[in-house]
Structure formats: structure tokens, C-alpha cells
Structure 1
Amino acid sequence: MTEARSKDPLHGITLEMQVNALVAKYGWVKLSQLIKINCFRNEPSVKSSLKFLRRTPWARSEVEALYLNLVEENLDDTINYSESDPWANSRYKK
């Protein structure tokens, strides 16, 4: 049986998971510089951020876009183009 896959890259990724990943990568200070939202600047917490982001579509879309950039960066970092072994990453040629 074939399994249907969603074309949405955020399918199965909760908003809380996105915020936690961004905080782990950048920290609250850098995150507040990247996305200018008061919930990231003044007494930031995951709970208050989630409450605000769920009620504010434009802010949520900015967080989702930054998360997708983070995922793409991590994907690019995991692909190792080794010069010494031409067969190591033959599937990942650009």
C-alpha cells in the first residue's frame, strides 16, 4: 500500500516544537532581533509566545518561515560532499 505524504513541510510539526527549536538554536535575544515581536523581547517564555502566535497570523507566519530556513540550513549541513570518496554522496549531487 502506498502511503500518502503531505506536501506541507510543516505537517506534523507543532508551533511549540518550532518555537523550542528556534530558541535552542538562537536564544531569546537573537530571536527577538530576527523577528521583532514583543513576546520575544519582554519576559519571553514559550507559553506566552505560543499564546500570542496562535492569535496573530502574521507573527506565526514569520516564525514558520524562520523555522523552515533553519530546517533547510540543517539539511544542507548534513549533506557532506567528500572529495576523497566520490561514491559517498552520489545521491546528493546538485
Structure 2
Amino acid sequence: MTDASPSPASPPPAQPRNPLHGITLEAMVVALQQHFGWDGLSSRIPVRCFQNDPSVASSLRFLRKTPWAREKVEGLYLFMLREQRRNARR
């Protein structure tokens, strides 16, 4: 006899319309740093982890503890993706 209910370890439902689905915070920070550089990143999101002796590791520690800063990083990442798509069409 099998149980028809989903197992507790079943994967979450797919999110095809969510551009952040499957993207780690580390991948976002690395992509933003490569695109804007630390100076550009700190001018767009003025937090110390991007301004004083920046590194991916220190940025991740801060962003994981600070929801408002993480939201700004996610927003800037989405902006960067839109900008890259627009430039690719030209």
C-alpha cells in the first residue's frame, strides 16, 4: 500500500516566472561585482561590506543577516539582468 501524500523531502514546486529562483546569494554578489566592480556596487548600495575592504565572504555574512540589504542586492541584480537583455537586443 502506498501513501499518495507528498513526502516531507519532496522538492518545492517549480517557479518558472521567478527570475531569482535557483540563483544563490553568492552568485548574485559575484555577478554584480564582476559587472559593476566594488566601487560601482558601493555607490549603488552604500553599505560598509561593499565599501571597506570588500570581499564576497564578508558581503555574504552581512547580507544573510540583513534582509533590507539583501532586498537591495536582489533588486540591483534584477536591474542588471534587464540591462544586459536590453543591450543584447541592440
Bin for the TM-score computed over the shorter chain:
0.7 to 0.9
TM-score, structure 2 as length reference: 0.80
Counterpart residue number, 2:56: 46
How far apart are 1:5 and its partner, in Å? Answer: 4.1
Partner letter of residue 47 of structure 1?
Answer: A
Deviations 1:5-40 (A, max 9, x none): 432210011101100011001111111111011100
Q: Structure 1 vs Structure 2: percent identity of aligned residues?
A: 52
Deviations 1:24-58 (A, max 9, x none): 01111111111011100111000000010011000
Q: CA RMSD in A?
A: 1.1
TM-score, structure 1 as length reference: 0.77
Higher relative contact order (CA 8 A, sep 6+): 2
Helix, strand or coil for the counterpart of 2:57? helix
- Counting matched residue pairs gives 77
Counterpart residue number, 1:33: 43
In 1, Cα distance between the equivalents of 2:24 and 2:17?
16
Counterpart residue number, 2:32: 22
Structure 1 segment 1-94 matched on structure 2, within 5 A:
4-80=14-90
Helix, strand or coil for the counterpart of 2:31? helix
Helix, strand or coil for the counterpart of 1:66? helix
